[in-house]
A = this chain, B = another copy of it.
Amino acid sequence: MAEPASHFIGVDFGGTKIYAGVFDASLECIGTARMSTKAPRGPEAVIHRIARCVADAVDECDLDAKAIAGVGIGAPGAVDPQAGKVVFAPNLPGWKDILLKKQLEQELGMRVFAENDCNVSMLGVYQVELKAKPKHALGIFMGTGIGGGVVINGEAYSGFNRAAGEVGHMVLQVGGPECGCGNHGCFEALASRTAIFKRIHTAVKQGQKTILTDRLGKDLEDMRSGDLRKAIRKGDKFVAKVIEDAAIHTGVAVGNLLNLFNPEVVVLGGGLIEALEDEMMPIITATALDHALPGTAKGIDIRACTLGDDAGITGGAVLAQRSVKKA
């Protein structure tokens, strides 16, 4: 109780889970809590669960609400940070123009700041992992979908309609596989976990042999990125080829981004990279350098994110700290 309002909370939530972390003033994480999202119950129920998850994390650290200076939350969709509003979240039923900040402030009695989840993760990577050193940096977060975060001149860059950094919907293959966005050949349709799983499912249905079915059955139920890593390490050439192709497409995407943004650092994160870093990163880096124009990539650092699953909550805490300072 001695230290009033010196801590920050970061919250990361998606279609399946809510994850909250309490951070001290030096951005050290001192406790976390997790909860399932129960997205089908709708926005009000989800916001209530987020509040419970935050309360659990605070309690976990033997703190009370008065110790919290602010909460930063990343939402999986288009967010208007001024209004604290989730404009649209494609994977959360009913999330259209939801006043997340206001409703969560009422539930928690704490100040809340909301942003797009990839922007928040990039903020965490930039501030804590990169120590805010590079002037220009890009983050690519690969999981179910593929999102990005852009830092230009040391500040999060979001463009005219706050929609910049949508790296997942950069077309790499005109006429390629259909994407969830309705277009074809997007980076996300070629290299996300969803795209990879779809390719494996289709091939298995067509008779492709793979170690994966030994373990998961012929319907490949509950397949995870880690299963792919295990299959590759056991010598499954089919799975190795699928992951190689995804890594090549990711390398082409990174090459494009080097030629367009010419950042100092590109950080790749998300569940897919976390599980398959050793398999994917060497191919991604080689392909990206091969596609960068001469001189473009000199001294540039292409690396896997070390914050892993904590990028989102760390970024949320950074967002809260920065926003409280500004206010």
Contacts and interface: CB of A to CB of B under 8 A. Distances in A.
B261 A164 contact: yes
Contacts of A256: 169-171, 256
Contact of A162 (B153, B169, B261, B262): B262
Prevailing SS type, chain A contact patch? loop
A167 B252 contact: no
Which range holds the interface residue count of chain A? Answer: 35 or more
Nearest to A248: B174
Contacts of A176: 174
Nearest to A138: B260
A323 interface: no
Contacts of A169: 256, 259, 291, 293
A300 B172 contact: no
Contact of A161 (B152, B159, B172, B299): B299
B262 A160 contact: yes
Contacts of A255: 171, 183
A167 B256 CA distance: 8
Interface of A: 78, 87-88, 134-136, 152-153, 157-167, 169-174, 176, 181, 183, 248-249, 252, 255-264, 290-291, 293-300
Given A167-B260, A174-B249, 13 more contacts: A78-B294, A135-B160, A136-B160, A152-B153, A160-B300, A164-B262, A165-B262, A169-B291, A171-B255, A171-B256, A173-B174, A174-B252, A183-B291
